[in-house]
């Protein structure tokens, strides 16, 4: 499984790179603190909403600490998506939040 640190994601955003970030946390978690511009798909709905994603895009998957995003990353990779797990999740995130 491909992995990226929260700091690496933050640096890419600061440089102006456009990233497709999928947050798999629950609604209440995302409502309190999220990375601007994320795509929110709770882990429990991922199987049903993966048709909204493109296999030609690259995605970074994030959750609270990295566990759920790891499961989501593995699931989407098994379906043929180009996905990378953000290790440490939002607990490790020091960048901008909304």
pLDDT, mean over the chain: 97
C-alpha 74/C-alpha 64 separation (Å) is 17
Alpha carbons 19 and 12: distance in angstroms, whole number = 8
User: What are the start-end ranges of the H helices in 1-98?
Assistant: 6-14, 27-32, 46-49, 67-78
Instruction: Please state which CATH class domain 2-91 belongs to.
Output: alpha beta
Using one digit for the tens of pLDDT, what is the confidence trace for 32-71? 999 999 999 999 999 999 999 999 999 999 999 999 999 9
User: How sure is the predictor about 1, in pLDDT bands with cuts at 50, 70 and 90?
Assistant: very high
Beta partners for residue 21, in sequence order: 60
**What pTM did the predictor assign?**
0.96
């Amino acid at each position: 499984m491909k992995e990226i640190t929260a700091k690496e994601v933050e640096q890419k955003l600061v440089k102006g790179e456009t990233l497709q970030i999928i947050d798999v946390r629950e609604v209440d978690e995302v409502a309190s603190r999220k990375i601007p511009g994320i795509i929110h798909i709770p882990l429990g709905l991922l199987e049903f909403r993966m048709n909204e994603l493109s296999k030609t895009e690259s995605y970074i998957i994030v959750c609270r600490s990295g566990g759920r995003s790891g499961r989501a990353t593995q699931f989407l990779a098994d379906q043929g998506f180009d996905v990378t797990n953000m290790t440490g999740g939002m607990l490790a995130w020091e960048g901008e939040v909304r």
